[in-house]
């Protein structure tokens, strides 16, 4: 039986959640997110395997137009997605491109390399903010229509209950890591390579109009997203 949990979180926004153990030990879960764009086509943050169930559901949304790598370490499945959807634009942080094993894989955009004001074609519906001072070089995304923030390692909401709901493994952690926990604010502070730049970008996201957060690791925060973000990054706002 497949362990992939597919869910339409809100109209035209579908998540693909799976078990994933960081370093093979720590259960943090993994998640891809696909958005059916009003302009046509599908935008997908590709962070989990493109298994049969995932591909069928994405194809039902429409032709994939954008394949997104969210940060330096969420790059493992970008090649599989590009092979399945060769006409899609493939965009990721420069550090993800450098780490990816297939050096022949063609990328159509690179955060950290392209000029800061570069437009990739989806900005009318999905806004982006590249965290250049975050160690994992993450990008935050705002789906404006559904008021949803989508991100990888900028914010966790653990334990990953949904991601392990079809797994024989419980996905339990000795200590949780929710946005309001002391552990999370300590983590976000420790990930900064430049405090002022992090503060600038964290504030930019805090001022976005969203209510929901879809993280790659942990459960979806269905409401109260801005408050959760501000709690996770409170050290930057003090």
pLDDT score recorded for residue 26: 84
**SS3 state at 102:** coil
Distance, CA of 37 to CA of 42 (rounded, Å): 6
Question: Both ends of the chain: CA-CA distance in Å?
Answer: 48
Q: Tokens for 213?
A: 């957060």
Which residues lie below 8 Å from residue 163, measured CB to CB, with a gap of 6+? 5, 17, 18, 19, 20, 29, 30, 31, 171, 218, 219
Report whether pLDDT(135) > 90.
yes
Residue pair 233/185 in contact (Cβ under 8 Å)? The answer is yes
Q: Quick one: what percent of the chain has pLDDT higher than 70?
A: 98
Contacts of 73 (CB under 8 A, 6+ apart): 96, 99, 136, 152, 153
Q: What is the pLDDT of residue 173?
A: 73
Is 213:233 a contact under the CB 8 Å cutoff?
no
SS (H, E, C) 164-200: HCCCCCCCCCCCCECCCCHHHHHHHHHCECCHHHHHH
Q: Is residue 34 scored above 80 in pLDDT?
A: yes
pLDDT reported for residue 24? 63
**How many angstroms separate the CA atoms of 139 and 166, rounded?**
29
Hunting for tokens 């900005």 — which residue is that? 123
Handedness of CA 14, 18, 21, 27 (dihedral sign): positive
Residues 157-206: tens digit of each pLDDT: 999 999 999 998 777 776 789 999 999 999 999 999 999 999 999 999 99
Predicted local distance difference test score (pLDDT) of residue 68: 98
Decide if pLDDT at 238 tops 70: yes
Share of the chain above pLDDT 90, in %: 89
CA-only gyration radius of the chain, Å: 17
In the chain, what are the domains? 5-237 (3.60.15.10)
53-86 confidence digits (pLDDT tens): 999 999 999 999 999 999 999 999 999 999 999 9
Prediction pTM value: 0.96
């Amino acid at each position: 039986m497949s362990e992939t949990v597919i869910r339409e979180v809100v109209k035209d926004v579908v998540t693909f959640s799976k078990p994933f153990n960081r370093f093979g030990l720590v259960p943090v879960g993994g998640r891809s997110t696909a958005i059916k764009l009003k302009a046509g086509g599908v935008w997908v943050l590709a962070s989990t395997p493109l298994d049969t169930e995932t591909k069928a559901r994405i194809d039902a949304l429409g032709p994939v137009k954008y394949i997104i790598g969210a940060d330096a370490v969420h790059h493992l499945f970008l090649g599989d997605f590009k092979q399945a959807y060769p006409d899609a634009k493939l965009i990721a942080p420069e550090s993800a491109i450098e780490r990816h094993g297939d050096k022949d894989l063609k990328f159509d955009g690179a955060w950290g390399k392209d000029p800061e004001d570069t437009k990739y074609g989806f900005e009318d519906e999905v806004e982006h903010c590249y965290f250049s001072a975050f160690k994992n070089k993450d990008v935050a995304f705002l789906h404006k229509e559904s008021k949803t923030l989508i991100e990888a390692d900028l914010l966790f909401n653990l334990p990953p209950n949904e991601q392990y709901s079809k797994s024989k493994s419980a996905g339990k952690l000795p200590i949780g890591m929710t946005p309001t926990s002391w552990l999370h604010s300590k983590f976000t502070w420790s990930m900064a390579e430049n405090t002022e730049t992090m503060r600038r970008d964290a504030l930019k996201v805090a001022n976005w109009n969203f209510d929901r957060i879809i993280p790659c690791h942990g459960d979806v925060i269905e409401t109260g997203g801005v408050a959760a973000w501000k709690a996770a990054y409170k050290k930057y706002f003090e």
